[in-house]
Amino acid sequence: MRNDKGLLALFEHPDDLISAVKKIRSHHFTKFDAYTPFAVHGLDHAMGLKRSWVPYVTIAIALMGAGLGFLFQAWALSTSWPVNVGGKPMVGWPAFIPVTFELTILTSGVSTSLLLFGLCWPFDFRKPSLDPRLTNDRFGLFIEERDAKFDEELLTKLLKETHAEEIKKII
């Protein structure tokens, strides 16, 4: 089912958006999302969003990058083509630290960034955004029509109570 039908309320101030989110959550609506021009402090908590799981991926890839990066250097200089510098140990590990460190940052940073691009998927360029002001100076709350509790009249009343500036039906 298409999930872009529903009711969009626009607010002038982020605090009104937060109180609207709290209100509709207390009425057990679940299929909704907020759209804001910047990350509003406290909104994720009001919406009941969990802490992002991205750091677990970052740390896993960082450890992998560090491990493989170190092993590669040790293998290249001690086994693949042994280079002995002044009779020092073949795996002179302190000399491998800078490159190991850079590879740790490179692998984890690049993969974290690519992960964010993936999370933005699908990039739908054809669909116009719900409202162009949402990336500028208005704060939106969008309740999907497929929400089991969806009731236009009740929602309009709730949103008006929390100072919604405008309420639009998206069809």
Number of residues that bind another protein (CB under 8 A): 63
Q: Can you tell me which of 76, 146, 154, 169 binds another protein, judged by CB under 8 A?
A: 76
Instruction: Determine, following the binding rule CB under 8 A, whether residue 30 of this chain makes contact with another protein.
Output: no
Alpha helices in the chain (DSSP H): 14-26, 43-47, 54-75, 93-119, 152-161
Contact 138, 165 (CB under 8 A): yes
Q: Can you tell me which of 3, 54, 149, 169 binds another protein, judged by CB under 8 A?
A: 54
Contact 26, 161 (CB under 8 A): no
Amino acid found at 135:
T
Two structure tokens written together for 150: 């969806």
CB of 25 to another protein, least distance (A): 13
Contact 132, 9 (CB under 8 A): no
Interface residue list for another protein (CB under 8 A)? 12-15, 33-41, 43-44, 47, 49, 51-52, 54-55, 58, 72-73, 76-77, 80-81, 83, 85, 92, 95-96, 98-99, 101-103, 105-106, 108-110, 112-113, 115-117, 119-120, 122-125, 129-130, 132-137, 140
